[in-house]
Amino acid sequence: MTGEIRDYQMFPVPFTTGPISNPITANGNTGNLNVEGWASIVAVINITAYSGFTSITFSIDEYDPTSNTYTSVGTTSALTSTGANRLVINPLLSQFVRLSWTVAGSGSVTAIVSGKFRAS
Amino acid sequence: MSSTGTSTGTTLALKYYDSNGNLQNLPVPIPTYAASRPPFPIRFLKGIPVFWDDFESGPAGFVMPERALASQTTNTGPTTISAGRWNFRDGNEYGVYITANAASSGRRSLFTGGNPTTQTYGDIGNQDVSCTLSLPSGILGVEFDLLMQAGSDPGGHLFTVEDKDPTDSTKYRELGFQINPFSANGAGFAFCSLAGPPTVLSNSISDSNGAILTGLTGPFKGAGTSLSRGTTGSWHRVGMVVDMNLGKYIAIFLDKFYLSTPTLTTRLSPNTSLWKISSPDSTVNSLKEGLKRCEFHSLTNGTSFAPLMYHDNIVITDETGTTYT
At B127, which CATH number? Answer: 2.60.120.200
Domains identified in chain B, total number:
2
This model of the complex carries an ipTM of 0.93
Contact assessment for residue B238 and residue B142, using Cβ atoms and an 8 Å cutoff: no
Q: Tell me: do B178 and B208 sit in the same domain.
A: yes
Does any domain span residue B323?
A: no
Q: d(Cα A107, Cα A25) in Å, to the nearest integer?
A: 6
Note whether A112 and A12 are within 8 A (CB).
yes
The answer to whether residues B190 and B307 belong to one domain is yes
Eight-class DSSP state of B198 = P
Q: Rounded to a whole number, what is the distance in Å from the CA of A77 to chain B's nearest CA?
A: 25
Which residues span the domain enclosing B31? 1-35
The per-residue pLDDT for B141 is 98
B166 and B135 in a common domain: yes
In a shared domain, residues B154 and B121: yes
Q: For residues B165 and B84, state if they share a domain.
A: yes
CB-side neighbour CA atoms (13 Å) of A34: 23
Q: Are both B13 and B77 inside the same structural domain?
A: no
Residues in CB range of B158: below 8 A, 6 or more apart: B176, B177, B178, B179, B191, B295, B296, B297, B299
Contacting residues for B284 by C-beta, under 8 A, at least 6 apart: B164, B169, B170, B171, B172
Q: Are residues B122 and B140 in the same domain?
A: yes
Specify if B325 maps to a domain: no
pLDDT at B287: 83
The residue of A2, A7, A15, A66 whose CB has the most chain B CBs within 10 angstroms, and thus the best one to mutate to test that interface, is A15
- Say how far residue B91 (Cα) sits from the centre of its chain: 18
Q: Are B30 and B140 in the same domain?
A: no
Q: Which residues of chain A have a pLDDT value below 50?
A: none
Contact across the interface for B120 and A119, Cβ inside 8 Å = no
pLDDT tens per residue across all 325 residues of chain B: 333 434 444 455 567 788 888 887 766 555 555 557 899 999 999 999 999 999 998 889 999 887 655 545 556 655 666 667 898 888 888 899 999 999 999 999 999 998 776 666 667 778 999 999 999 999 999 999 999 999 999 999 999 999 988 888 788 899 999 999 999 999 999 999 999 999 999 999 999 999 999 999 999 888 777 777 888 889 999 999 999 999 999 999 999 999 999 999 999 999 999 999 988 765 566 788 889 999 999 999 877 779 999 999 999 999 999 999 9
Q: pTM for this one?
A: 0.88
Is residue B173 domain-resident? yes
Q: Which domains are delineated in chain A? A: 5-118 (2.60.120.1110)
DSSP, collapsed to helix, strand or coil, labels residue B288 as: coil
In a mutational test of the A interface, the residue from B93, B98, B123, B149 whose CB has the highest number of chain A CBs within 10 Å is B93
Task: Say yes or no: B153 and B245 in one domain.
Answer: yes
CA closest to A20 among chain B residues: B119
**Residue B95 and residue B159 in one domain:** yes
Does B143 share its domain with B225? yes
Q: Are residues B129 and B162 both part of a single domain? A: yes
